[in-house]
Structures are given as C-alpha cells and as structure tokens.
Amino acid sequence: MTPEAKVKAKVVATLKANEVYYFYPVMGGYGSSGVPDIVVCCNSRFLAIECKAGKNKPTALQERNMQKIRDSGGIAIVVNEENLNIVQEVLSQLQEIENGKHE
C-alpha cells in the first residue's frame, strides 16, 4: 500500500466510524481533473478531502478546485499523516452545529 493509500484508509476509517456518506470520485474521461480524493456529506454540509503523503502538496489545479468548493460554502481540507485528526475535528464541529451546540 502506498503512503497516500494509507492516509486514505485512515480517513475512510474515521468517516465510517462517524457514519457519514462519502465516495471516491472516479476520473475516467468524463470527470474533471483536480477533484479532491474523497467527497463527504455530513449533516447537510459538503466536505472535500485531498489526501497527501509526507510533505506532498496539492497541485495548482487541486488548490483551485478546493478554493471553488470553499467559495461555494463547502469545506475543503488537505490531510496527511501528521494532521489526520483534522478529519475528526471537522466532523465533530459539523455534528455540533447540527445539534445546536456550536455557533
């Protein structure tokens, strides 16, 4: 398993533990390039997750797509081995918003 695949597996484990809807967009001739690795819907909120290994950074196209998501009111994050906890933090915040505990 590649280092990036390990990051994806850990992200998916967190998503499953939180019982949220997610999918991997498949690029194959009809899709758009630069789409984040994992697309999530949690409490009516759109979350896009780009997974990277080590110090790898998103490409310029990936950055543009993530900014478009943010500009549209969604959440877009970049996750690697060192900040995997951000996925749980974002999901917890979205759950608190849904439960009226977060302003």
Topology (CATH level 3) of domain 3-79: Trna Endonuclease; Chain: A, domain 1 (3.40.1350)
pLDDT digit string, tens, across residues 5-49: 999 999 999 999 999 999 999 776 666 788 999 999 999 999 999
Average predicted confidence (pLDDT) for the chain: 91
Q: Where are the alpha helices (DSSP H) in the chain?
A: 3-17, 60-71, 85-98
Task: Tell me phi and psi for residue 39, to 5 degrees.
Answer: -110, 130
Q: What residue spans define the domains of the chain?
A: 3-79
pLDDT value, residue 41: 96
> Within 10 Å of residue 93's Cβ, how many Cβ atoms?
16
Greater confidence (58 vs 33) lies with 58
Q: How far is CA 47 from the centre of its chain?
A: 5
* Cα distances (Å, whole numbers) of residue 72 to 66, 67, 69, 83: 10, 8, 5, 24
